[in-house]
Structure 1
């Protein structure tokens, strides 16, 4: 990799670049959707910062280049890297382990070796573009070794790490054969951020028990191999969304007209229930369908009056557990529709697609009830997107207590998705909730997501990193 034109004072390191390589579009790059890009792109543009990541195509070798005021530093991954580091260790070892072993994790040494090798590559790329004393912010579970590796290469930089998914309780984390290596990698950062206070506590407990470091109120006394001591901080920084953007889209006349079209296409039911998730075993889609199907069986819901729209975005389609999950979900949908559809009404409208943001907002506006029934989720931004889109202060959010969002969105109808009877009662409470009660709850939810948006999240994290830099100066 050649040196970029200039060194950067602020660097983001994530598995993916904020753009996807797409030769079919003008310029060859398509902007990636998502809250992380929305939060960090303005910061990098203001500071002339750099973003280190994979461009999304295996084997693609590119020099650093500038786009929209950011220096983009592509990291090359081979087909083998994608298979072993990404699909293997990241998504078939770490992902299920950190999501409470909902699906059994697989432990393969060759996957771990690839994970180490790729993390070394990312660390080297970040080190090559960092100005003296730069701030480097590493993102998520694919890159847990980067903080320590980067510190070894560039002890002058200030390092942050944010963990977007849950961090498991010690009894689960301890299963990982390479647990000490992962923890040592993470405490290489100065500030280690998590979605929930519980996740930060799980992490510091693991550090204390596995590495023997003293911890107190999130402060970790890190002892290096040479005997030097420094303090790292682990704490919660709940991530959020660009609330103003969703509010603005929801006010567009064409989006509101599209919401009416969607309801009309469903036969104008009295109630539209909506679920949107990546097709992932952590999302509780099967539990949701079971509860809904039983409500139809029992006559508590009537297909003439209620429709469930379930969007299941394609996800990790080459991983066996995901292929099996898709088959299970589609069989369940087919059975429920076969049992309950009428000529004019369908019980479940199942959509295995991804949709642009404007269409998602129209769906949020069309939905009377939003079901978020994740079995385990670091945050769940869909819940916040729904709230931000409900400019009419109507609609009901049914929210799993096992999401990070449940800590913040206290006016939602909370559920334990494993309790099918409780989930059924919560759905009925949402369907039957009076407009005045909906408005009271939704106003409180909207206030929360407005006051704590994604810009607030990045500001708070970066302020703590800046405090470390001033302390070291």
Structure 2
């Protein structure tokens, strides 16, 4: 019997690697399995690039112990990476979400350090790096996404020095005093320095990273550039070929590229008659209050949900507003429910909601309408249209795209955005009411100001916010990053950088007791 050798894997010139694939496996009632596209701005931004450049997406399919061959989904090449139940427990729920996530979010919750979690993180990152290396053409461009895969750039640099490698960190990067607590701090830095371009949400995040590089590695940095020696045992093998005369180092760029949304798609949905009608129904179902305040978050301790509930409850207690006049709608989508800190948070939030409704509600009206669920995008757009005030009180957030989604849907140029200064979006959306969510009195003042803001001021602010979001959408974000990356990572490429540091002429920070000037 003749044994046929396995076919060589198909290779691609542009490869994206992320923890999750851009598709979800769905089981229909008849037991048939199919793949559905995951909603998200990242997929929207990269899909045209992948189609135009023979691209592939490497990632986990979202279920344990699922062995799948590469396949096509809606014209995108999908390369699944299998994870076992132990991988999910230690690499994903453990090191990624119970070590890195709290550490990178300023230790709002105490991070857990377990050596077996780290070992699993290394092993899974190696699996991703091997998968990417196997499907990448000679000289391909690879873009690695987020904190779960911080070791992949170095692994790829060692195995495939021909590749152009980018990395984008979607969450904050902490100050060195916090980051230095991580037992594997140097290994993470070395892993990231395998990339040619390392992107962050905020300028402060990029600066935190370069400070960590100087402290832990001693490499020279100048502005957004880092000189990584080509011969350095701790970083990995040098690039292939001879060392260029007079330049025994690689130039790595580490700078901010604030991510955004597909603003046009949100605006298009907000103009649909059925969604406008649904927004009217939502107000009616809530008893047609004079004002609706909306909070939309994952149920996560970084989002400051308890802070906004405390401020809202105190406003009711003080008599500054009544339950019949104002309703707070809080959507808290389920998140990481197998992690103990998240189970405790859910209990805390639901207890606060119950107390507020019990103390200040009436038979016909509850002041807080709380929903521990996830809604499809069309329902979210209807909620955005129904809300007079969007309340974002993140204690630490890489960006917070909900704030931008709210702005994109406000085709009437109305509505007020209250935005935490600790969310990355505050660097761009200066015409929001910027607040420190830890300052409960300041937060209460901002809510009252938003509720009573004259229509002319609301329109002026919202027009400025909308201009910002539409000019700097997710397509502009991906184009800017890839323009720098495909310029081979040279400092000269920065002249093609994004315009994110520019502000609208009328978009200066607010002054006064309820606003923090960042």
* TM-based fold match above 0.5: yes
Match of 1:161 in 2: 167
Rounded to whole Å, the distance in 2 between the matches of 1:430 and 1:164 is 30
Q: How do 1:198-237 and structure 2 match up within 5 A?
A: 198-223=204-229, 224-225=232-233, 228-237=248-257
**Structure 2 residues without counterparts, runs of 5 or longer:** 1-5, 239-247, 492-518
Rounded to whole Å, the distance in 2 between the matches of 1:194 and 1:397 is 24
Q: Do the aligned partners of 2:414 and 2:455 also contact (CA within 8 Å) in 1?
A: yes
Aligned-CA RMSD value: 1.4
Cα gap change, 1:101 to 1:344, in 2 (>3 Å)? same
Rounded to whole Å, the distance in 1 between the matches of 2:363 and 2:398 is 41
Residue 292 of structure 2 corresponds to residue 272 of structure 1: yes
Q: Which one of 97, 101, 107 corresponds to residue 91 of structure 1?
A: 97
Match of 2:504 in 1: none
Q: Which one of 375, 380, 390 corresponds to residue 370 of structure 1?
A: 390
Cα gap change, 1:300 to 1:4, in 2 (>3 Å)? farther
Q: How do 1:249-260 and structure 2 match up within 5 A?
A: 249-260=269-280
Rounded to whole Å, the distance in 2 between the matches of 1:320 and 1:363 is 30
Q: Do the aligned partners of 2:251 and 2:490 also contact (CA within 8 Å) in 1?
A: no
Report how many aligned residue pairs link the two structures: 471
Rounded to whole Å, the distance in 1 between the matches of 2:256 and 2:396 is 17
Q: Do the aligned partners of 1:4 and 1:64 also contact (CA within 8 Å) in 2?
A: no
Rounded to whole Å, the distance in 1 between the matches of 2:25 and 2:362 is 45
Q: Which one of 53, 60, 76 corresponds to residue 47 of structure 1?
A: 53
Match of 2:24 in 1: 20
Cα gap change, 1:244 to 1:310, in 2 (>3 Å)? same
Residue 210 of structure 2 corresponds to residue 190 of structure 1: no
TM normalised by structure 1 equals 0.98
Match of 1:467 in 2: 487
Residue 6 of structure 2 corresponds to residue 6 of structure 1: no
Q: Which one of 148, 152, 169 corresponds to residue 154 of structure 2?
A: 148
Task: Report which stretch shifted further, 245-254 or 59-68.
Answer: 59-68
Cα gap change, 1:44 to 1:344, in 2 (>3 Å)? same
Q: How do 1:309-458 and structure 2 match up within 5 A?
A: 309-458=329-478
Task: Report which stretch shifted further, 402-411 or 2-11.
Answer: 2-11
Match of 1:139 in 2: 145
Q: Do the aligned partners of 2:9 and 2:134 also contact (CA within 8 Å) in 1?
A: no
Rounded to whole Å, the distance in 2 between the matches of 1:442 and 1:27 is 44
Q: Which one of 106, 114, 117 corresponds to residue 120 of structure 2?
A: 114
Q: Do the aligned partners of 2:169 and 2:201 also contact (CA within 8 Å) in 1?
A: yes
Q: How do 1:240-251 and structure 2 match up within 5 A?
A: 240-251=260-271
Rounded to whole Å, the distance in 1 between the matches of 2:227 and 2:421 is 32
Q: Deviations over 1:187-218 (max 9, x none)?
A: 00000000000000000000010011111101
Cα gap change, 1:402 to 1:469, in 2 (>3 Å)? closer
Q: Do the aligned partners of 1:282 and 1:376 also contact (CA within 8 Å) in 2?
A: yes
Following superposition, the deviation at residue 469 of structure 1 comes to 7.3
Following superposition, the deviation at residue 5 of structure 1 comes to 5.2
Following superposition, the deviation at residue 371 of structure 1 comes to 0.2
Rounded to whole Å, the distance in 2 between the matches of 1:338 and 1:407 is 38
Following superposition, the deviation at residue 3 of structure 1 comes to 6.3
Rounded to whole Å, the distance in 1 between the matches of 2:15 and 2:175 is 31
Following superposition, the deviation at residue 470 of structure 1 comes to 9.3
Q: Deviations over 1:345-383 (max 9, x none)?
A: 211000001001110000000000000000000000000
Match of 2:108 in 1: 102
Rounded to whole Å, the distance in 1 between the matches of 2:308 and 2:358 is 18
Q: Deviations over 1:283-336 (max 9, x none)?
A: 000000000000000000110110000000000000000000000000000000
**Structure 1 residues without counterparts, runs of 5 or longer:** none
Residue 64 of structure 2 corresponds to residue 58 of structure 1: yes
Following superposition, the deviation at residue 40 of structure 1 comes to 1.1
